[in-house]
Structure 1
Amino acid sequence: MTTNSIVTRPRKAGAALLATVALSGVLTACDEADGPQPATSSSAPTRTAGAAGSQQGGLADLAQRVVDAGAPGVIMRADSGSGQVTEIARQAPWSTGDHTLAATDQFRMGSNTKTMVATVLLQLIAEHRLELTDPVSKWLPGLVPNGGAITVRMLLNHTSGLFDYRDDPAVLKAFTGHDIRAWTPAELLAAAVRHDPLFGPGTSYTYSNTNYVALGLIAEKVTGQTMADLVQERIAKPLHLQNTYLVEGNGSGTDKSPTLAHGYEPDPTHIAALLPPWVPAGTTFAGPARPANYVDTTAGNASTEWAAGAMVSTAQDWATFDSALLSGKLLPPELLKEMKTTGPEEAEVPNRRYGLGLEQVTTPCGTVWGHNGQVAGYSSEAYTDDTGTRTASVLTATIFGLASPKAGGANQDLVNAAVCTMLGKPTPASSPTPVG
């Protein structure tokens, strides 16, 4: 695989749970026979609008390979901006008893949420209700130690130094579904600041979900509205996004939606070998048992996410949002430029640079903008070109089901192919299939 393929940057989610999922397939894991088992076939339709047959077939084959490698399901959407749109859904046969996956299904978008939340904050700045230079203490007095030295900009670009609340053991219990109590955003922030900061404000970079919980609280303080209402009023309704909303509380009942894709993680017997050594011993995901060594995490506790990752959307809705953002429909030019002003390449994944809730990503076929995200049972990558004309997304129904080299490599190949398709470039060669 090329060194500049899209790779999911390690992002901490409870003692760095997500750091294990580098979608390049370079991680070591248990033998394939001991992990989630591959499907022998899959179902769910392919929908196209003006897509060339050979291109569609190649993408469908790659999506099928993700499922055959062990993933419970995957949705892929690619729009070249010239009337060629391909939508594909594939799933393992055992998962159809829970839900028949469709390319139009709702999906938990994880940290892609940050791009939408950052957009709302920048809109408030455009209205002169907030400034990038405002200290946190101005809006959240007494809630963040040294808040006078941490600015809104530092929260947006992850240079605040705040500890990631998901690394707190109590929050980890909720993130993995073993605690169903609804955490409030203020409680998440308090869990973070119980720990020492990682570095002085503005002196370094570390991705921390705490930053976006703080930003959500600031937006609510500035406006007097809930973060969920702000998303609807400022983004979803103007863009006619019918399937996009921010989950509030623990999300109780949202998993009952007939159009919400189900998410899965390896069961307690098989998850241990897929986790990095620094994750606490005995860490597992809660959920009803399913075939192929999985548990269904769809009804997990969403309250650990909120403004950091609780958005539900669809591939098409998110493409509409990304297009509107990069084409300048949601922010004035000077603030879109601020959003796209990135820091240095990230040490762990050098093809990524972080801006203000938006990432610049170098791919085999060119530079794209977007984000990725993971919450229990759901992995998502969503990208657009510099003008918002072309979009691509891959939504996969697991995090740790991709931790084997075979499944991770297959998923990465699909992401690369989707991005190259949206950019009108030939699909790069697939990575060699790992053995064992």
Structure 2
Amino acid sequence: MRRTALVAAVIATAGLTTATQAAASTRLEQLARNLVAAGAPGVIVRVDDGRGRPVEITEHAPWAHRLEAGDEFRMGSNTKTVMAALTLQLVAERRLSLSDPAGKWLPGLASGVTLRMLLNHTSGLADYTEDPALRNAILGKDPHRWTAAELLAVGAAHPPVFAPGTDWSYSNTNYAAVGVILERVTGASLADLVRDRIARPLHLTHTYLPADGSWRGRHAHGYEPDAAHMPPAVPAGFSDVAGTPKAGHVDVSGNDPSWGASAGAIVSSAPDWARFYTALMSGKLLPAAQLAEMRTVVGPGYGLGILTATTPCGTIWGHDGGITGYSSSTITDGTGRRTATILVPTEFVYEFDAAPELAEAQRALQDATTCAMFGKPVTAGPAT
């Protein structure tokens, strides 16, 4: 659920070659197959260049659950974009201000932290996912249902990594804090806010904050290697994941994602997420002033719950996400008319840079997907 390399990899795209749109689609199919051949349990690719019917590709290993393009998927840290949108809606309604001291809603939080700092990761708060107390939850072995308030308490108990506003560091604790603030300001649960302010208005029928490890519709099964097959680069403390054994892996689909909460627990689908990005970037969800705030970036190009990067094929906005068994990369252009999503049902090998061949195949697919989104020729070979 920490920031993975999926969006960052877009920056390293290779030189482009000429190709027709049909050839680009064929290339994406081949790269998706390459990803599975390199060890991914499967992949869902969806690309909409804004000029016609989206390209939808699914591939899966012979042993893995069959994927469909509209499968529900745990979106990990893409959740942060939704939480930022909810926050900015309340800013537009004058119920919050980005300059509000976080302590106004969270007594005892480090002095000097503002709502804006939480949203753009400049607060200095330590990341709760680094605390050993979360280990068993990440591994699917903890029956406790974590709340955003409890996760905030875990992160806030650690010394700040820097003084508020003086640096940038990605921390899930920031969005645990945002979740608590949203609930305290509105009196509504996070699940209800996602439903009433995002999913229902946009007709996102597969987007929700789950109450437990269950699903509402057809979903992707997420996997991690079992202890005997976990790559040695994965730390020993993360090698034994709970789940249903299957072909040298464990199926973690039923594991409770509550430890992600407002930082990473949302469920969605590739078509739903495209619709969300289109509404967000076109101004349907936010007034112009708040959308401009969201796109004001610091550090490595991070705005309020969203990243930006410049690639040879165009400037992208988006986020990525990882939660046990599920990795996601979602991007759009500056207008929301073009969108692309890559969903891979495994996470630890990405999180810990434990599979170089898989990472290389992922980069090649990401590069090609980005260019296809802009309607430009895709790379003919592996990324450099």
Normalised by the size of structure 1, how large is the TM-score? 0.81
- 1:141-190 CA distances to partner (integer Å, 9 max, x unpaired)? 23x2x2x4110000000011111111110112211112121112221111
**Percentage of matched positions with identical amino acids:** 50
Alpha-carbon separation, structure 2, partners of 1:70 and 1:328: 39
Residue number in structure 1 paired with 2:320: 372
Equivalent AA in structure 2 for residue 208 of structure 1? S
Note closer, same or farther for the CA distance 1:236–1:282 as it changes in structure 2 (3 Å cut). Answer: closer
Residue number in structure 1 paired with 2:70: 104
Alpha-carbon separation, structure 1, partners of 2:119 and 2:250: 34
Equivalent AA in structure 2 for residue 55 of structure 1? A
Alpha-carbon separation, structure 1, partners of 2:49 and 2:102: 41
Note closer, same or farther for the CA distance 1:425–1:432 as it changes in structure 2 (3 Å cut). Answer: closer
Residue number in structure 1 paired with 2:256: 301
Equivalent AA in structure 2 for residue 312 of structure 1? V
1:6-405 pair list within 5 angstroms: 12=2, 52-96=21-65, 100-142=66-108, 144=109, 146=110, 148-248=111-211, 251-254=212-215, 257=216, 259-271=218-230, 273-275=232-234, 279=235, 281=237, 283-291=239-247, 293-345=248-300, 353-402=301-350, 403-405=354-356
Alpha-carbon separation, structure 1, partners of 2:238 and 2:269: 33
- 1:375-400 CA distances to partner (integer Å, 9 max, x unpaired)? 00110001110111100010011113
Note closer, same or farther for the CA distance 1:91–1:231 as it changes in structure 2 (3 Å cut). Answer: same
Q: How far 1:192 sits from its partner (Å)? A: 1.0
- 1:191-231 CA distances to partner (integer Å, 9 max, x unpaired)? 11221111111111100000001101101111111111111
Q: 1:141 aligns to what SS in structure 2?
A: coil
8 A contact 1:272–1:284 mirrored in 2: no
- 1:17-76 CA distances to partner (integer Å, 9 max, x unpaired)? x6899868x9xxxxxxxxxxxxxxxxxxxxxxxx95433222111111111111001000
8 A contact 1:176–1:301 mirrored in 2: no
Alpha-carbon separation, structure 1, partners of 2:130 and 2:201: 36
Alpha-carbon separation, structure 2, partners of 1:19 and 1:53: 28
- 1:334-364 CA distances to partner (integer Å, 9 max, x unpaired)? 111111011133xxxxxxx101001002223
Equivalent AA in structure 2 for residue 411 of structure 1? Q
Equivalent AA in structure 1 for residue 152 of structure 2? L
8 A contact 2:49–2:374 mirrored in 1: yes
Unaligned runs of 5+ in 1: 1-10, 27-50, 346-352
Note closer, same or farther for the CA distance 1:227–1:264 as it changes in structure 2 (3 Å cut). Answer: same
Note closer, same or farther for the CA distance 1:20–1:367 as it changes in structure 2 (3 Å cut). Answer: closer
* Deviating more after overlay: 178-187 vs 314-323: 178-187
Alpha-carbon separation, structure 1, partners of 2:102 and 2:92: 18
Q: How far 1:253 sits from its partner (Å)? A: 2.6
Q: How big is the alpha-carbon RMSD for the aligned residues of Structure 1 and Structure 2?
A: 2.2
Alpha-carbon separation, structure 2, partners of 1:84 and 1:194: 49
Q: How far 1:401 sits from its partner (Å)? A: 4.3
8 A contact 1:176–1:286 mirrored in 2: yes
Residue number in structure 1 paired with 2:15: none
8 A contact 2:156–2:173 mirrored in 1: no
Q: Larger relative CO (CA 8 A, sep 6+): 1 or 2?
A: 2
Equivalent AA in structure 1 for residue 275 of structure 2? T
Q: How far 1:406 sits from its partner (Å)? A: 1.3
Equivalent AA in structure 2 for residue 266 of structure 1? P
Alpha-carbon separation, structure 1, partners of 2:238 and 2:285: 45
Q: 2:316 aligns to what SS in structure 1?
A: strand
Q: How far 1:282 sits from its partner (Å)? A: 5.9
Equivalent AA in structure 1 for residue 272 of structure 2? D
Q: 1:95 aligns to what SS in structure 2?
A: coil
Unaligned runs of 5+ in 2: 13-19
Q: 1:156 aligns to what SS in structure 2?
A: helix
Equivalent AA in structure 2 for residue 74 of structure 1? V
* Deviating more after overlay: 123-132 vs 87-96: 87-96
Note closer, same or farther for the CA distance 1:104–1:114 as it changes in structure 2 (3 Å cut). Answer: same
